[in-house]
Amino acid sequence: MTRSKLIYGLCSLSILAGSCSEPSQQKENATGQNPVKPIYVSDSVIHDTDDPAVWVNPADPAKSLILGTDKDADGALYVFDLKGKAIDSLIVRNIQRPNNVDISYGLKLGDRTVDFAVTGERLTSKLRFFSLPDMKEIHADGIEIFQGETGTEYRDLMGVAVYHNPQNGKQYVIAGRKNGPQDGSYLWQYEIKTADGKLDLELVRKFGEFSGNKEIEAIAVDNELGYIYYSDEGVGVRKYYADPAKGNEQLALFATEGFTKDHEGISIYKIDEETGYILVSDQEANLFHVFPREGSAANPHEHNLITKIPTSTVSSDGSETISRALGPDYPHGIFVAMSDDKTFQLYKWEDLARDLLKSKN
């Protein structure tokens, strides 16, 4: 595949305002700003991109990997390098409509410790686990979830995120579905068990309010602060404790105003252990709304809008951001966003941050 292309050239500092393309290509956004341009666009998938995740290579961050879902009954989990070039030998095909993907590190599996990716196979209601960086399946054919739900209405697996508790080392998968009840049990949380070197899942709680307005897909977890965020599309972003022992109280509902239509992908840029930014996709407007990760000085659960960033994405669904330096192209981290043209767009964090947001040193 050869569609990966460099679209970021030798530009002046005006790149920080997103003005690094030819004037004829510029289209001013509703914010009054020109869209920020990615430095690379990935190779195309076959069907429909949906959600990305980034695996940071501990030995050489410049050789980290981007994973992305190709959403179709004949779908796949794609793997790209940091220039967006697909790595054919690592792509996993024949996954039945994968929507979301997430990554975690340091899972003890028998006598070895592995990093892993997990994606939801929507048409079978299964979670599929793959070791990283070799993309070998850990549990053959996946593990079925939403057991006990009758019919298919509440088993239509979509959102997937991993919580790695830094205090006790436990790891969990939080899963959502296209449709669910409004009684506070829309999301199901499973603890990952690895007895005798085999991977299994144990349901530990059902939680999460739902407006009934549209659906819930985008889920993000802040491991260090211990919170789960998810988009109740058309309403806002809901916040809960990630540790099931802390209960099912909703801590916040924010991002309730100023969105064109759907609240979609959520990603978290971490400046340090406690501060940073929460980015939420305003899908139809091609904007990302930015909120303080740490909340306000008076209330850690008060997340007021900082800014809106116009991007070159088309109807962006999923996104991911990593604040670590990933080689010369990404000295302050990377932002990856799905675009509705079968690609993922790769941005330098500082191009999004401009003069308003901070970067991790």
pLDDT at 140 over 90: yes
Angstrom distances, CA of residue 321 to CA of 127, 148, 246, 268, 347: 23, 35, 27, 6, 9
pLDDT at 5 over 90: no
Of 360, 159, 186, whose CA–CA distance to 272 is shortest? 360
pLDDT for residue 148: 86
Residue labelled with tokens 């099912």: 248
- Residues 331 and 357 sit within 8 Å (Cβ to Cβ): no
Each residue's pLDDT tens digit, 310-338: 999 988 889 999 999 999 999 999 999 99
pLDDT at 186 over 50: yes
Computed from CA positions of residues 344, 140, 156, 244, in that sequence, does the dihedral angle turn out positive or negative?
Answer: negative
Q: For residue 163, with 0-12 CB atoms within 10 Å meaning exposed, 13-18 middle and 19 or more buried, which class applies?
A: buried
pLDDT at 17 over 80: no
Angstrom distances, CA of residue 6 to CA of 37, 50, 114, 298, 327: 11, 22, 33, 44, 16
pLDDT for residue 234: 86
pLDDT at 16 over 60: no
pLDDT for residue 286: 93
pLDDT for residue 1: 42
Distance CA(137)–CA(114), nearest Å, equals: 12
Return the percentage of the chain with pLDDT > 90, whole number.
Answer: 81
Side-chain-side CA neighbours of residue 222 (13 Å):
27
Q: What pTM value is reported for the model?
A: 0.90
Calculate the average pLDDT of the chain: 90
Question: Which domains does the chain possess?
Answer: 27-353 (2.120.10.30)
pLDDT at 74 over 50: yes
CB atoms within 10 A of CB 76: 20
- Considering just the CA atoms, what is the radius of gyration of the chain in Å? 19
Q: Report helix, strand or coil for 349.
A: helix
Q: Report helix, strand or coil for 246.
A: helix
Of 152, 202, 197, whose CA–CA distance to 177 is shortest? 152
Each residue's pLDDT tens digit, 82-115: 999 999 999 999 999 999 999 999 999 989 999 9
pLDDT at 13 over 50: no
Residue labelled with tokens 């695996």: 55
Mean pLDDT confidence for 195-216: 94
